[in-house]
Chains A and B, each alone.
Chain A
Amino acid sequence: MKMDKELEPRLASLLGDLKAVPARDPRAASRARSQFLAQAVSAQGKARHSVWNIFSQKEQFAMKLITTTLVIVGLLFGGSATVAAAQEALPTSALYQIKLASEEADLAFTADPMSKVDVLMEQAQTRTQEMAMLVTQGTVPNEALLLRTQNRIQQALHQAADLNDDAAMTATLTRIREQLQTQDQQMLRLQDGSCTDCDPILQRTRDMLHTQINEVENGLADPQAFRNAYRRQNQTRTTQTPDVTGTPVPTDVTVTPQDSCTPALDGTGEQYRNGNGNPVPGTPGPQNNDGSGNGTGSGSGSENGSGSGSQTTPGGNGNQGTSPAVPGGQGGRP
């Protein structure tokens, strides 16, 4: 190789030793992937909020008037029929957003914590049923569907952790576990080879369900530790900083739940913590134009589970030359 001519053999051998690394833990990899995609869904929601916020700031009164009028007219002339029709909608349908919005309304009007768990798990079940219907039609369900399912399960676990009575919490967790096992069986049945393209997402859904079942098992084994872990996450979330652009996320707009109320989604309850189980020490600074700063400093915890404090501002964003090929034949596309 070219490098051998430039490099003393002993040095080449020593550097070559670094190439031998253990294989990545598939569970950790899967968890990291879920976290990133959850962040992506959340980012998408924030982007939508920003667009809506422009309207709400500039034309707040007019928009409210128009919205109210449309809602009243809609309800008078077939609004309820539309909502009813939307209940059967799949993610590929134009009515699907209405279905999600109506689910969010159901949740908002449910005050009792135990009933809330039931509503959330029912919605998680609806997502997996949608996945099943898509697979039956030969359509590959997208990642968002998995994340919405995960979102609802995590919210249900948060609700369960909020129950102060151990017996009530144990009963609730037992119920959640049964529902998760049913969903897992449903996903397993779908992996019958009739839609091979669907298998990866189905497998990822099953992996996610297994992680959630493990969470529940841990909760059943040690209710107090489970409660503490989830409450700690809630506290962490309430002390989070705004998004990196410094723009506060608006709270007065109607949004679908999967975009706006994302609790820990990795199945481990660790979304707001780093891998060592410690709160994250820093948030990348907004002034960094490619997000790759490497300065040191302190900052507040960030939603993404990592961060390294204030950063330097790099000179550009690497817009030179041609795209690098995959080096050394490594890391082929999975």
Chain B
Amino acid sequence: MIIEQELLHAAYALEEQTLAEIYDLYSPRLYRYAMRLLGDAQISEDCVAETFSRFLQALQAGRGPRDHLQAYLFRTAHNWIADHYRRAPEPEPLKDDLPVNGSVEESVNLNLRQKRVRAALRELTDDQQQVIALKFVEGWDNDEIARVVRKPVGAVKSLQHRALERLKKLLLDEA
């Protein structure tokens, strides 16, 4: 917490070393998060670039985060992803950079399952997507998620409950 606040304090002075430190600390996590939700390396790079760009612009304008930098960055990234979903409603192409070392068939199946889950996530509201992704894919706890979605923990639980019900219908009932 103290380290994060020190980083932010120096970041407002636009110190290159600090900004590089922040980038190195959070960029891999943000990329992984974007990749999990978007399934496209190039678009995920765009997401990370835009997230940090907005962060820099917010710092310049004196309107950046004063604390909870990680929550701020994930919120910004998720808003970009939700925006991307709206702008590009077509289904993602099947990727050939398959992530696992198993057989080709296994990899193809995994890829298809991922596409199906991403498609289902896109049926949820922005907040529901964020709660599900952070909780069940990234493994965050409710307090952390509450800071990202800027809602009380109770509201996070409620969002989670409704989102899971909807996902069950979309992914399990139809199967």
Q: Do A20 and B140 have beta carbons less than 8 Å apart?
A: no
Say what secondary structure dominates the interface of chain A.
loop
Interface residues of B in 108-163 (CB under 8 A from A): 110, 113-114, 116-118, 126, 132-141, 143-144, 146-148, 150, 160
Are B57 and A284 neighbours in the complex by a CB distance under 8 Å? yes
CB of A330 within 8 Å of the partner chain: yes
When the two chains form the complex, which single residue of B19, B26, B114 contacts A40, counting CB atoms closer than 8 Å?
B19
Residues of B within 8 A of A243 (CB): 60
Q: Is the CB of A318 within 8 A of B75?
A: yes
**B99 lies within 8 A of A18 (CB):** no
B79 partner, pick from A143, A292, A327, beta carbons under 8 A: A292
Pair A18/B143 contact, Cβ less than 8 Å: no
B75 with A292: CB separation less than 8 A: yes
* B interface: dominant SS: helix
**Chain A 252-276 per-residue mask, 1 if CB under 8 angstroms from chain B, else 0:** 0000000000000000000000111
Interface size bracket, B side = 35 or more
Report the separation of the CA atoms of residues A286 and B58 in the bound assembly, to the nearest whole angstrom: 9
Assembly CA distance A11 to B169 (angstroms): 10
Q: How many residues of A contact B (CB 8 A)?
A: 81
Comparing A120-128, A208-216, A299-307, the segment that makes contact with chain B is A299-307
A29 at the A/B interface (Cβ < 8 Å)? yes
A residues within 8 A CB of B45?
A: 28-29, 32, 275
Which residues A283-329 have CB closer than 8 A to chain B? 284, 286, 288-296, 302, 304-309, 314-328
Query: Quick check: is B104 within 8 A (CB to CB) of the other chain?
Result: no
Q: From the candidates B16, B49, B70, B137, name the one contacting A15 in the complex (CB within 8 A).
A: B137
| The stretch of A43-51, A107-115, A151-159, A165-173 that contacts the partner chain | A43-51
Q: A94 an interface residue at 8 Å Cβ cutoff?
A: no
Whether B168 pairs with A8 at a CB distance below 8 angstroms is yes
Q: Does A81 contact B (CB under 8 A)?
A: no
Q: Within the assembled complex, what's the spacing in Å between the Cα atoms of A133 and B79?
A: 45
Report Cα–Cα, A231/B146, bound state, in Å.
47
**Chain A: minimal CB distance from B65 (Å):** 5
CB distance from B158 to the nearest CB of A (A): 13
Contact (A47, B14) CB under 8 Å given A291-B57, A323-B67 = yes
Q: How many angstroms between the C-alpha atoms of A32 and B26 in the bound complex?
A: 13
What residue in chain B is nearest A245 (Cβ atoms)? B61
**Which residues of B in the span 23-53 have a Cβ within 8 Å of any Cβ on A?**
23-29, 31-32, 35-37, 39, 41-43, 45-46, 48-50, 52-53
A19-B28 CB under 8 A given contacts A36-B23, A37-B23, A306-B53: no
Q: For B141, what are the chain A residues with a Cβ–Cβ distance below 8 Å?
A: 2, 327
A23 shortest CB reach to chain B, Å = 8
A292:B68 contact, CB within 8 angstroms: no
Interchain CB contact under 8 A, A39 and B171: no
User: What residues of chain A lie closer than 8 Å to B31, measured between beta carbons?
Assistant: 24, 29
CB distance from B29 to the nearest CB of A (A): 3
Give the residues in chain B near A314, CB-CB below 8 Å: 150
Q: Are A36 and B56 in contact (CB under 8 A)?
A: yes
Flag if B136 contacts A3 (CB, 8 Å). yes
Distance A153 CA – B110 CA, assembled complex (angstroms): 44
A54 within 8 A of B: no
Partner of A324 from B56, B137, B140 at Cβ < 8 Å: B140
Distance, CA A241 to CA B164, complexed state (A): 43
CB of A139, distance to nearest CB on chain B (Å): 13
Which listed residue, A10, A36, A40, touches B172 by the CB 8 Å rule?
Answer: A10
Chain A nearest Cβ from B173, distance in angstroms: 11
Contact of A41 among B16, B71, B84 (CB under 8 A): B16
A318 touches B60 (CB 8 A): no
A-B contacts, 6 listed (Cβ < 8 Å): A20-B114, A21-B36, A296-B86, A317-B66, A318-B71, A320-B146
* Chain A residues within CB distance 8 Å of chain B: 1-3, 6-8, 10-12, 14-22, 24-25, 28-29, 32-33, 35-37, 39-41, 43-44, 46-47, 142-144, 147, 243-245, 274-276, 284, 286, 288-296, 302, 304-309, 314-328, 330-331, 333-334
Closest 5 CB pairs of A and B: A328-B139, A291-B54, A294-B79, A331-B29, A304-B53
